[in-house]
């Protein structure tokens, strides 16, 4: 870089400014000298009066010790004569006090009436008692001027025989100082005016480019990178302006890069299905994307600057330092008993290369469905194992008995074989039901639908059960007397109705009644089958369509049920586009209802 000459350098400019500052400092020194001059004048004033008081004390002492006759003047007269000769322009009043604190003379002709009075001033008493000089300065309340009060003892043979009380006009000194201050103020004002004019002329050469750079910095702060700083010279400030322009260009490039990365990051965060929460180094939330706000059921405005432990509901279990050291996922359970809601949070620490922690990022995943599927899988395996274990245990017991010789007993062997055959058929039904449910779970399962008169279809199924029933149960039909055509898979829907009627007959008491009803609605038909059995408790009514769920497990298993009939019925009805549910009152019976899609027949436009 080219070397800058001295006469064009900023150093020379600063030297000139420094010289002006020295001149200004001299004014400060002048104030200091005024203060010292004031102290000196006050000291001279006090010294001058003290020397005159010493001479006055000598004359007063001679008069107070002199023997008096009838021809001579009295002590008060002599003292008054001496005091008249003592008066001066800078003395307001002089009083002479004897050793009994009585005023025996005053220089003020207007205050002769105080002669003979006792003095109560504490300073006078100290002077008469200890022989010490006393002085003080204060503002007189009557004249509103400064006065100096001086008390000096009159001593003879080391004994205080009286005191001199002097009031000096020290205000004259301050009047002189005010005049001096006015002169100095005038001179200082002229110097300041000259200094200001010269300073403005010299400082303008420096401040102009600095002002331009300040404006440019303000524009940079607002995101305006188009302005350039004007270069006024080749000195250090000129080089600074050139450097500032280069910095502006680089900042513009960096800003464009940062803005592009920010938009990319914002786009990624917005379209992420997972929730993201970021914090600063103190654990306060500084960023949360929309999926995270939705998963946590909060608004983005309310959680900003809040501790992440409170936002995630972990303040009782974890501190922010614990989350920084957490290596495994944290499960967040926000669900209730009837509605599970579970999130998994993975934490990642934001660190610099030096290891300094800048913050924390939490990634949230909704694993409610996964947990429900996992719980259902565990329950399904448990139920299947239990359902298979019971008949297998029974079969093994009877087969062992037969193997041990029971097969030779004509009374026992047939019964054992019948039980074994029954349990085998039960396991076959269970496996068939499981295979059927597995087919429904596969996405490529297809129904063989066709248009069927549902009224006729339903009546045939009811007729079959009515002809083969083995218990005293009456059937009541509330079916339309006209055909209702729906598109169904007759085999599958027959299985649904068979299962519902079979369950109704199993749980119906002797002499009970089954009611069959079909209602025609705008877009569906509603089929209901009601029994007069024991009913289902209210807390269990919503679970009877779950796989392997039984209200009374012992009775259901005794009647040969697998616990999958209603689950299969729900899958079939759902596959048809319908809905199945149950209503029940304990002790009065249960009603199973389901709907099937249906379109009302349109009137033929052809005549």
For residue 211, is pLDDT > 80?
no
pLDDT tens for each residue of 107-125: 888 888 888 888 888 888 8
Q: Which of 164-168, 222-226, 371-375 has the highest mean pLDDT?
A: 164-168
Between CA 212 and CA 290 the distance in angstroms is: 44
Residues 314 and 412 in one domain: no
Beta-carbon neighbour count of residue 264 at 10 Å?
Answer: 10
pLDDT tens for each residue of 345-365: 888 888 877 778 888 888 888
Three-state DSSP class for residue 90 = coil
Confidence of residue 409 (pLDDT cuts 50, 70, 90): confident
Please report the pLDDT score of residue 605 as a whole number: 42
For residue 178, is pLDDT > 90?
no
**Please, where are the H alpha helices in 98-170?**
122-130
Residues 318 and 382 in one domain: no
Residues 409 and 516 in one domain: no
Q: Is 580 left (phi over 0), alpha (psi -120 to 50) or beta?
A: beta
In a domain, 563, yes or no: yes
**Please, where are the H alpha helices in 507-595?**
553-558, 565-575
Which of 242, 264, 286 represents a domain boundary (last residue)? Answer: 264
Residues 253 and 150 in one domain: yes
Beta-carbon neighbour count of residue 573 at 10 Å?
Answer: 21
Q: Which of 209-218, 335-344, 572-581 has the highest mean pLDDT?
A: 572-581
For residue 595, is pLDDT > 90?
yes
Q: Given CA atoms 466, 472, 478, 481 in this order, what sign does their dihedral have?
A: positive
In a domain, 543, yes or no: yes
DSSP state of 4: P
Confidence of residue 197 (pLDDT cuts 50, 70, 90): low
For residue 524, is pLDDT > 50?
yes
Between CA 429 and CA 387 the distance in angstroms is: 11
In a domain, 607, yes or no: no
Please report the pLDDT score of residue 440 as a whole number: 62
In a domain, 603, yes or no: no
Q: What is the token pair recorded at 489?
A: 């898979």
> Strand locations in 352-440, DSSP E?
357-366
In a domain, 602, yes or no: no
pLDDT tens for each residue of 130-163: 888 888 888 887 778 888 888 889 888 888 888 8
pLDDT tens for each residue of 376-392: 667 666 666 666 676 77
Please report the pLDDT score of residue 442 as a whole number: 58
CATH number for the domain harbouring residue 392: 1.10.287.130
Which of 331, 366, 401 represents a domain boundary (last residue)? Answer: 366
Between CA 1 and CA 3 the distance in angstroms is: 6
pLDDT tens for each residue of 496-505: 888 888 888 8
For residue 74, is pLDDT > 80?
no
First to last CA, the chain: 105
Between CA 254 and CA 225 the distance in angstroms is: 11
Residues 106 and 215 in one domain: yes
DSSP state of 132: -
Please report the pLDDT score of residue 4 as a whole number: 45
Chain-centre distance for alpha carbon 317:
19
Cα Rg, the chain, nearest whole Å: 58
Beta-carbon neighbour count of residue 71 at 10 Å?
Answer: 5
Q: What is the token pair recorded at 213?
A: 């750079």
Match 């970021």 to its residue by tokens: 278
Residues 405 and 466 in one domain: no
Q: What is the token pair recorded at 368?
A: 């409610």
User: Percent of the chain having pLDDT more than 90?
Assistant: 6
- More confident site: 394 or 481: 481
Encode burial over 518-550: b for 16+ CB neighbours within 10 A, e otherwise: beeeeebbbbbbbbbbbbbeeeebeebbbbbbb
Domain count, the chain: 4
Q: Where in the sequence is the domain holding 563, given as residue range(s)? A: 450-597
Please report the pLDDT score of residue 396 as a whole number: 79
Confidence of residue 527 (pLDDT cuts 50, 70, 90): very high
Between CA 179 and CA 174 the distance in angstroms is: 9
3-state helix, strand, coil in the chain (%, to 5): 50, 20, 30
Q: What's the average model confidence in pLDDT over 95-103?
A: 86
Residues 407 and 343 in one domain: no
For residue 202, is pLDDT > 80?
no
Residues across the chain:
607
Residues 171 and 290 in one domain: no
Confidence of residue 550 (pLDDT cuts 50, 70, 90): low
Please report the pLDDT score of residue 381 as a whole number: 66
Which of 366, 397, 417 represents a domain boundary (last residue)? Answer: 366
Q: What is the token pair recorded at 566?
A: 């209603």
Q: Which whole-number Å values give the CA distances from 135 to 165, 255, 380, 385, 579, in the listed order?
A: 10, 76, 110, 116, 114
Residues 37 and 145 in one domain: yes
For residue 441, is pLDDT > 70?
no
Confidence of residue 456 (pLDDT cuts 50, 70, 90): very high
Q: Is 450 left (phi over 0), alpha (psi -120 to 50) or beta?
A: beta
Between CA 517 and CA 296 the distance in angstroms is: 46
pLDDT tens for each residue of 229-287: 777 777 777 777 788 788 888 887 887 887 777 777 777 766 677 888 888 888 898 88
Residues 280 and 330 in one domain: yes
Please report the pLDDT score of residue 434 as a whole number: 65
Average model confidence (pLDDT) across the chain: 79
Q: Which whole-number Å values give the CA distances from 178 to 34, 37, 149, in the listed order?
A: 10, 12, 22
CATH number for the domain harbouring residue 475: 3.30.565.10
pLDDT tens for each residue of 273-322: 788 888 888 889 888 888 888 888 888 888 888 888 888 888 888 888 88
- More confident site: 485 or 271: 485
For residue 452, is pLDDT > 80?
yes
Residues 108 and 257 in one domain: yes
Please report the pLDDT score of residue 192 as a whole number: 64
In a domain, 562, yes or no: yes
Residues 515 and 562 in one domain: yes
Between CA 62 and CA 324 the distance in angstroms is: 100
- More confident site: 462 or 434: 462
Give the least confident one: 57-61, 100-104, 183-187. Answer: 183-187
CATH number for the domain harbouring residue 318: 3.30.450.20
User: Quick one: which H or E segment has residue 64?
Assistant: helix 10-65
């Amino acid at each position: 870089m080219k070397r800058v000459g001295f006469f064009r350098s900023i150093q020379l400019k600063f030297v000139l400014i420094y010289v002006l500052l020295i001149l200004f400092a001299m004014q400060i020194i002048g104030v200091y000298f005024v203060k010292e001059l004031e102290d000196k004048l006050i000291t001279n004033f006090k010294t001058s009066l003290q020397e005159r008081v010493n001479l006055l004390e000598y004359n007063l002492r001679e008069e107070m010790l002199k023997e008096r006759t009838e021809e001579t003047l009295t002590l008060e007269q002599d003292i008054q004569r001496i005091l008249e000769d003592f008066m001066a322009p800078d003395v307001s009043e002089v009083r002479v006090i004897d050793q009994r604190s009585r005023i025996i003379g005053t220089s003020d002709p207007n205050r002769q009436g105080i002669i003979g009075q006792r003095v109560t001033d504490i300073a006078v008493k100290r002077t008469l008692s200890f022989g010490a000089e006393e002085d003080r300065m204060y503002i007189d309340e009557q004249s509103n001027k400064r006065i100096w009060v001086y008390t000096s003892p009159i001593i003879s043979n080391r004994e205080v025989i009286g005191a001199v009380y002097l009031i000096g006009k020290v205000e004259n000194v301050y009047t002189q100082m005010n005049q001096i201050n006015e002169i100095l103020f005038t001179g200082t004002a002229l110097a300041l005016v000259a200094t200001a004019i010269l300073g403005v002329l010299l400082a303008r050469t420096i401040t102009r480019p600095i002002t331009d750079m300040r404006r440019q910095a303000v524009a940079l702060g607002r995101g305006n990178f188009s302005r350039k700083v004007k270069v006024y010279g080749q000195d250090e400030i000129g080089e600074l302006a050139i450097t500032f322009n280069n910095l502006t260009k680089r900042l513009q490039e960096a800003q464009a890069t940062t803005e592009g990365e920010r938009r990319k990051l914002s786009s990624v965060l917005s379209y992420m299905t997972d929730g993201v929460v970021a914090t600063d180094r103190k654990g306060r939330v500084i960023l949360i994307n929309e999926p995270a706000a939705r998963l946590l059921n909060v608004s983005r405005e309310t959680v900003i600057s809040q501790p992440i432990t409170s936002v995630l509901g972990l303040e009782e279990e974890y501190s922010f330092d614990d989350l920084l050291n957490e290596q495994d996922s944290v499960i967040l359970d926000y669900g209730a008993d009837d509605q599970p809601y579970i999130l998994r949070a993975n934490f990642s620490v934001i660190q610099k290369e030096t290891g300094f922690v800048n913050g924390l990022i939490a990634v949230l995943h909704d694993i409610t469905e996964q947990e429900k599927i996992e719980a259902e899988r565990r329950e399904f395996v448990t139920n299947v194992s239990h359902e298979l274990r019971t008949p297998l245990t029974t079969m093994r017991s009877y087969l062992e008995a037969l193997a041990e010789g029971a097969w030779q007993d004509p009374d026992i062997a047939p019964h054992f074989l019948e039980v074994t055959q029954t349990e085998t058929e039960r396991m076959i039904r269970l496996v068939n039901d499981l295979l059927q449910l597995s087919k429904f779970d596969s996405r490529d399962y297809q129904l063989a639908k066709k248009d069927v008169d549902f009224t006729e279809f339903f009546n045939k199924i009811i007729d079959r059960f009515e002809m083969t029933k083995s218990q005293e149960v009456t059937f009541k039909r509330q079916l339309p007397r006209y055909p209702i055509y729906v598109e169904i898979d007759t085999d599958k829907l027959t299985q649904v109705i068979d299962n519902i009627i079979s369950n109704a007959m199993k749980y119906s008491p002797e002499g009970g009644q089954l009611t069959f009803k079909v209602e025609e609605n705008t877009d569906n038909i509603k089929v209901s089958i009601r029994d007069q059995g024991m009913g289902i408790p209210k807390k269990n009514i919503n679970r009877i369509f779950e796989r392997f769920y039984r209200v009374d497990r012992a009775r259901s298993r005794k009647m040969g049920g697998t616990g999958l009939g209603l689950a299969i019925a729900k899958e079939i009805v759902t596959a048809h586009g319908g809905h199945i549910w149950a209503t029940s009152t304990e002790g009065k019976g249960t009603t199973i209802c389901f709907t099937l899609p249906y379109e009302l027949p349109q009137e033929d436009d052809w005549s």
